Amino acid sequence: MRLPIAAICLLATLAIAQNQNLPPKSSSEKDEPAKPVKQYPPELVKELIAMREAALADEYAYRQVAHLTENIGPRPSGSPQAQAAVDYVAEELRKIGLDVRLEEVRVPHWIRGIETAELVEYPGQAAGAKQKIVLTALGGSTPTSAEGLTADVVIMNNFDELKNLGRQKVAGKIVLFNKRMAKRSFIARKVRKRRRNWAQSLL
């Protein structure tokens, strides 16, 4: 059997092999209650470690990731790219001798629309002028009506400022966060939560 098979198995087995070889925790790390670590047969651990090392020494997995990201591209759920990725991975697994079966599932499907925004009233505004704003909606965002929305803008530097300001002072307004957002999902969830509960829109 070709060693690069381990590159795929690595995703499911790497954690097992790593848990069996973790260094002792420092005194500062022992403050929290230790979670029980599941013990695996030594022979299985040995085989998994060998698979991990073989995978890390081979470029097979990296080539697969490169194809998925560069050739197929972004794969939002329900998109043609997502289906292409499923079919590609299934075929690659079959090539190395695995029995693969695909099943139909229902997934959320969000389609990006046209996103536009502009300042219609601001200090120093020239008569008849408007300032266009470049923006991108968070995936899964609820669309506005066809007429769009117009509201005053409230500038915040962080979520604490928004919380301290209170709902009454931002209800019906557009909240602009004057801060570069970290590329993490919890930021998006916080934004959506405030969007549902308080403001007309969050930028």
Task: Give the pLDDT confidence of 6-46 residue by residue, as tens digits.
Answer: 444 444 444 554 555 555 554 444 455 666 777 889 999 99
- Whole-angstrom Cα distance, residue 104 to residue 128? 54
> Does the pLDDT at position 54 exceed 80?
yes
Asked whether residue 83 falls in the same domain as residue 42, the answer is: yes
- Whole-angstrom Cα distance, residue 137 to residue 159? 19
Residue-level pLDDT at 176: 86
- Within a domain: 110: no
65-69, 123-127, 181-185, 194-198: range with highest mean pLDDT: 65-69
- Within a domain: 174: yes
Asked whether residue 15 falls in the same domain as residue 76, the answer is: yes
Is residue 161 helix, strand or coil?
A: helix
Q: Is the dihedral of CA 154, 148, 136, 193 positive or negative?
A: positive
- Within a domain: 126: yes
Asked whether residue 141 falls in the same domain as residue 66, the answer is: no
pTM of the model: 0.51
- Whole-angstrom Cα distance, residue 44 to residue 42? 5
- Count up the domains in the chain and report the number: 2
What's the domain range around 79? 5-23+36-95
Asked whether residue 82 falls in the same domain as residue 141, the answer is: no
Asked whether residue 128 falls in the same domain as residue 194, the answer is: yes
- Within a domain: 100: no
- Within a domain: 136: yes
pLDDT band at 190 (very low <50, low <70, confident <90, very high): low
Asked whether residue 164 falls in the same domain as residue 122, the answer is: yes
Task: Give the pLDDT confidence of 112-129 residue by residue, as tens digits.
Answer: 888 888 988 888 889 989
Asked whether residue 90 falls in the same domain as residue 144, the answer is: no
Asked whether residue 123 falls in the same domain as residue 54, the answer is: no
Asked whether residue 69 falls in the same domain as residue 140, the answer is: no
Asked whether residue 87 falls in the same domain as residue 121, the answer is: no
- Within a domain: 29: no
Tell me the DSSP string of 173-184.
Answer: SEEEE-SPPPS-
- Within a domain: 141: yes
